[in-house]
Amino acid sequence: MENRGSFGSKLGVILATAGSAVGLGNVWRFPYMTGQNGGAAFILIYLVCIFMLGIPGMVGEFIIGRHSAANAARSYHNLSNGKPWGILGVMGVVTSMIILGFYAVVAGWCLQYLYASLLGGIHGDVSYVKQYFVEFSSDPIKPTFWTIAFILITHCVVVKGVRNGIEKASKILMPMLFVLLIVLVISSCSLPGAFKGIEFLLKPDFSKVDENVMLEALGQAFFSLSLGTACLCTYASYFSRQTNLLKSATQIALIDTIIAIMAGLMIFPAAFSVGVNPDSGPSLIFITLPNVFQQAFGSMPVVGYVISVLFYALLVLAALTSTISMHEIGTAMFYEELKVTRKKGAWVETITCCIIGIFCSLSCGAMPELSLFHLNFLDFCDHLTSQLFMPLGSFATCIFLGWYVPKKVVSDEFTNWGTLKGSLFGVYLFMVRIVCPLCILTIFLHQLGVF
């Protein structure tokens, strides 16, 4: 088996791992949830949830991955001493493969819209833009082509290894993403009437805060940081022994939150400037915003063209930083466990995810009969991972790390074998043993409609 490799710098660790957290959800879910749930009040609750659940959960997966310095399946197996806990790693790998399969479909849509924007954009009224998306997503060839193309682009990065592939790409993609986001935020906030959008996003409205808002914030914190997918565990297996796990988790969480807030500052001012109430999900990205760009910059067609191209380039970059991390999870397991080269392991992952992606893409229009439990195959995969596999995997990981793994192992990793101050270790152990499992269980039961 070839050398696993490792990240070559602290910056590489932060950018690569932050890239795994920053994705399309930052653009189409967080801003909408913030605006509808009290603006700055929601952000404050979200930050509390990040510290209560997100950071302890991240550190937990970091500890498991770095301690074993192996793929996720092997990491859990090593720490479980052959007990059934080892299945958690395999479950995380399977979860990530399913997510990559359907995520690549939406990422492929972004590639198509970037291509269309480069050719001159999608022009017409709201009904035309909506019809364009319906016809494109229902086509049996185009969406499938772009889905496979996106997975292959991801493959080309991952197959080059940790330093020459993942780390190098992250050092290019993340700064590009940040610069594009700044340009788009400035352009959006400079439009007439943009202040109403800024106010809608950032003005605290505590009257909207209830138990549902708190659960939404808790759930967003959980899913935004890729908890329960084995991603953090896999990346941590490439960390050096000098990496400060708590500090890294905090920095990554802050980067993820800042980018999500900036995405809101990009979307809401432009939408309010032309009197459009932003929706959430795919309709926001592929129906509402093309119309917003067209209206907002209609008197300046060149500017509108550039903004549209930059926006979809931003989405492609955000999606790519996430798909790279998801691809690496399965690649690492296949090439290490099958005792083959990284290249062969990456192809096993790529082919498997392409098959899932093809079924997901076809189920969105060309073959609606591809469905399970009254959901098209893409929505079924989304619900299966987000509402079952991820919360269960993360809940079990907290129990495993907090109550089964020897306390000394956790303490040694947390303090880098005594070289860092361990004054917060007691607090961390309490959070991962008690608070995090209760929070995750609450989210899980809420999603199932128990309360």
Question: How many C-beta atoms surround the C-beta of residue 427 within 10 A?
Answer: 11
Mean pLDDT of all residues belonging to the chain: 90
Report the Cα 342 to chain-centroid distance in Å.
Answer: 24
Q: What is the pLDDT of residues 388-434, one digit of tens each?
A: 899 899 999 999 999 999 999 999 999 999 999 889 999 999 999 99
Which of these, 336, 326, 338, 188, lies nearest to 263 by C-alpha position? 188
pLDDT in tens, 330-388: 999 999 999 999 999 999 999 999 999 999 999 998 898 888 888 999 999 998 998 88
Residue-level pLDDT at 225 = 86
Please name which of 113, 75, 393 lies closest in space to residue 227, comparing C-alpha atoms.
393
Instruction: Please measure the distance between the N-terminal and C-terminal CA atoms of the chain and give it in whole angstroms.
Output: 49
* Amino acid 3: pLDDT: 66
pLDDT given for residue 25 in this prediction: 83
Rg (CA), the chain: 21
State the Cα–Cα distance between residues 217 and 201, nearest whole angstrom.
15
Report CA torsion sign: 70, 74, 76, 77.
Answer: negative
292-333 per-position pLDDT tens digit: 887 777 667 888 888 889 999 999 999 999 999 999 999 999
Most confident of 216-220, 269-273, 381-385, 403-407: 403-407
CB 50 within 8 A of CB 257: yes
Q: How many CA atoms lie within 13 A of 379 on its CB side?
A: 14
CA angle 250, 255, 260 (to 5 degrees): 125
3-class SS letters over 200-251 = HHHCCCHHHCCHHHHHHHHHHHHHHCCCCCCHHHHHHCCCCCCCCHHHHHHH
Give ∠ CA 236-242-244 in degrees, rounded to 5: 65
Tell the CATH topology of 10-448.
Hydantoin permease (1.10.4160)
The domain spans of the chain are: 10-448
Amino acid, res. 350: T
Determine which helix (DSSP H) or strand (DSSP E) holds 169, and give its type and residue range. Answer: helix 168-189
Is the Cα dihedral 374, 355, 284, 14 positive or negative? positive
151 against 229, higher pLDDT: 151
Return the residue matching tokens 């073959």: 367
Q: How far is CA 80 from the centre of its chain?
A: 28
| Model confidence at 2: pLDDT above 70 | no
Q: Which residues contact 87 (CB under 8 A, 6 or more apart)?
A: 76
215, amino acid identity: L
Are 261 and 183 a contacting pair, CB within 8 Å? Answer: no
What's the Cα-to-Cα distance from 263 to each of 88, 124, 421, 431, rounded to whole Å?
A: 33, 25, 36, 30
Query: Is pLDDT of 199 > 80?
Result: yes
Is 191 in contact with 31 (CB distance < 8 Å)? no
What integer is the mean pLDDT of 116-132? Answer: 84
Alpha-carbon gap, residue 182 to 184, rounded angstroms: 5
* pLDDT of 27 above 90: no
What is the mean predicted confidence (pLDDT) over 255-259? Answer: 92
Tell me the sheet residues that pair with 376: 371
pLDDT for 274 equals: 83
Range among 21-30, 133-142, 146-155 with highest mean pLDDT value: 146-155
Mean pLDDT of 61-73: 95
Residue where the block lists tokens 């990240």: 7
